[in-house]
Chains A and B, each alone.
Chain A
């Protein structure tokens, strides 16, 4: 079955460069979440979309991070002027709606390495 997909699976970049990470949620899921998982830690919330709008972006660490979801389906997480501390696995999740007690289904993540 079609789960949450993320591309690329791995991304190596140099400090200062710009990167885009893509998430394709489960079809029909209106809520989409981005998390970041550093080595040896649990995922940390970054931003959540309900439809096309960012309903909560309180987890974005600074203004170098930005995410969009223009048509309410695919989302792109954009990181400008990457730093070595941005190296982590970026996980995307989706749920059927944002309300109630809906579980979040996770994608396989993108491992970002900033050299």
Chain B
């Protein structure tokens, strides 16, 4: 059974801080790892990491995939209050198209 574990469960920081969110996984025939941001209901896509694309960056957000350690990190620099959300990590295997999600990390950025 595929498994995704995220840490920490929750995090409180102040604006301007840098945060690192962790995701570890066990999956048969790994295809890709995805990061989503969930503010209210709909998770919104951030990054997809694969064997051929292990590092992605967009503005203050960046993510790295470590296939050897079966893990990924999501970094957010110079955090803003608008970064407050639940961050979800999910993995996808080669056979099938379902995503297996972790439990999420709840980030709160205080002014």
Contacts and interface: CB of A to CB of B under 8 A. Distances in A.
B99 A45 contact: yes
A111 B42 CA distance: 12
Contacts, number: 66
A44 B1 CA distance: 13
Interface in A60-115: 89, 91, 95, 98-99, 101, 103-109, 111
A70 B41 CA distance: 26
B105 to A, nearest CB: 10
Chain B interface SS verdict (over half): strand
A20 interface: no
- Categorize the interface residue count of chain A: 20 to 34
Contacts of A105: 45
Contacts of A108: 40-42
Contact of B97 (A40, A48, A107): A48
- Categorize the interface residue count of chain B: 20 to 34
Interface in B14-62: 31-32, 34, 36, 40-45, 48, 50
Interface of A: 3-4, 31, 33, 35, 40-45, 48, 55-56, 58-59, 89, 91, 95, 98-99, 101, 103-109, 111
Interface of B: 4, 6, 31-32, 34, 36, 40-45, 48, 50, 88, 90, 96-104
21 contacts: A3-B42, A4-B42, A31-B97, A33-B98, A33-B99, A40-B103, A41-B103, A42-B4, A42-B6, A42-B90, A42-B103, A43-B90, A43-B99, A45-B99, A91-B42, A98-B97, A103-B34, A103-B45, A104-B99, A106-B36, A106-B44
